[in-house]
Amino acid sequence: MATVDISGYQQKKVKKETKQQAVKGSFSWTELLSKDISFGSGKLSDKKKDSFFFELSTLLQSGIDLKNSLDLMTLESVKEKHVGIIKEIKDKVIAGQSMALAVQSSGKFSDYDFFSIQIGEETGNLAEVMKDLAVFYRRKIAQQRKIVGALTYPLIVLSTSAGAVFFMLRFVVPMFSDVFKRFGGKLPWITQVVISFSHFVEQFFIPGFLLLAGLVYLIYRNRNRTAFRKFTSELILKIPVLGELVKKIYLARFCNTMRLLVSTRIPLLRAIAMSGQTIVFYPLEVSLKKVEQGIMEGRALHECLRDFSIYPPKLVQLIKVGEEINKLDYFFESIAGQYVDEIEHQTNTLSKLIEPLIIIFLGLVVGFILVAMYLPMFEMSNSF
């Protein structure tokens, strides 16, 4: 079993403001579908971080020193909105600050970026760490885009279907209802049901819309509260299919984060702490804090992970093997790749399954409404 060096380890206290920024948007699974999300207000997007770290790592690996690399990046990025950030970092580096402190003081990067760059400078592998950060964000962006691409069409079809049904109930059915009132007589039960539902939509549309808006506002206001995050995360994980998908997405992020940190020779305790700051999903945050405490007490990583149901037995077993042969970074990378493949397969399957179901549902609803509206006319024509 691999030993853990805790000498000189200091558990860093995260500022409250930074933690709140990292938590933003973590209350629901819709965050998973957003493109190029940033780690809170004012932060660089994942796409810009990928570009920044990739360009800088390429220049550093070519033998250019850090100052000249930043100079070249400011020249090449003259039309980019974030060129001022690069100039600010360059000026601080020239003034004698380390790259890690310059990045942190800019306020545009996460603690995860700061600690990774700091380790890169301490070990003399800054270029390699920059490359790993670029790969990390590129994979994260690719994962988000695959999910967005798989679910965009079904969501568009679902929105269009809901709009079409609402239009028929709000405008088309009342027109038929007025016609039926002029003729009098008893309407078929199916027609009465549709007309009653149309009246319900017309009467409660505005109050329902205001209620929904108020609910969204309350969710937005309480999204950072611990009790709310705990409740929503538990609720999401209990949803069939979707809960398992969300779980795999965050486990993949956890493994990717740990792969990068462990590969840069960051002590395991600090890697666990940094992962807890980066993965803004309540069950993982809570578990990683307890895992960190367990490791400090002398337990192995896989033993600590085994205490929590969110970590599958297969993941725990692979990490155990990685600890025994001292190749945790390799196993974290393999696990992350496997989860990414499973996520892509499941999202594509869901997309292909949801599309025909939505179309069939729309056809049934529209057909039901049309039959309900034309049935009285058929009966009146038969009476003649």
Q: How far apart are CA 99 and CA 203, in angstroms?
A: 61
CA angle 62, 66, 67 (to 5 degrees): 125
Q: How far apart are CA 70 and CA 329, in angstroms?
A: 30
Q: Read off the pLDDT of residues 128-168 as tens digits, 9 standing for 90 and up.
A: 888 888 888 887 888 778 777 777 877 887 888 788 888 88
Q: How far apart are CA 282 and CA 350, in angstroms?
A: 25
What is the dihedral sign for C-alpha 107, 110, 113, 115? positive
**Residue found under tokens 């990685």:** 322
307: helix, strand or coil: coil
- What are 338's two structure tokens? 């496997």
Q: How far apart are CA 277 and CA 116, in angstroms?
A: 13
pLDDT at 33: 37
- What are 27's two structure tokens? 């209350």
pLDDT at 351: 77
Question: 10-residue block means of pLDDT along the chain (384 residues)?
Answer: 40 39 38 38 76 88 86 67 79 87 85 79 82 84 78 80 83 80 76 85 84 90 86 89 88 87 81 82 90 90 91 92 90 89 84 81 84 78 58
38: helix, strand or coil: strand
Amino acid symbol at 183: F
Provide the CA 315 distance to its chain's centre, in angstroms.
Answer: 21
DSSP, res 40: S
Strands in the chain per DSSP E: none
Q: How far apart are CA 105 and CA 108, in angstroms?
A: 8
45: helix, strand or coil: strand
- What are 16's two structure tokens? 């409250």
pLDDT at 77: 52
Contact of 5 with 269, CB cutoff 8 Å: no
- Prediction pTM value: 0.69
- Closest C-alpha among 121, 113, 119 to residue 38: 113
Provide the CA 124 distance to its chain's centre, in angstroms.
Answer: 33
CA angle 218, 140, 13 (to 5 degrees): 65
Q: Read off the pLDDT of residues 187-206 as tens digits, 9 standing for 90 and up.
A: 788 888 888 888 888 888 88
Provide the CA 273 distance to its chain's centre, in angstroms.
Answer: 20
Amino acid symbol at 343: I
pLDDT at 365: 84
- What are 221's two structure tokens? 């206001």
- What are 243's two structure tokens? 């809960």
Q: Which helix (H) or strand (E) holds 371?
A: helix 328-383
Distances (CA, A) of 184 to 4, 13, 169, 194, 377: 85, 75, 21, 17, 12
Q: How far apart are CA 62 and CA 67, in angstroms?
A: 14
Domain locations along the chain = 42-109, 135-383
Contact of 296 with 323, CB cutoff 8 Å: no
- What are 52's two structure tokens? 């920044």
Amino acid symbol at 181: K
Q: How far apart are CA 279 and CA 257, in angstroms?
A: 9
Q: How far apart are CA 241 and CA 226, in angstroms?
A: 25
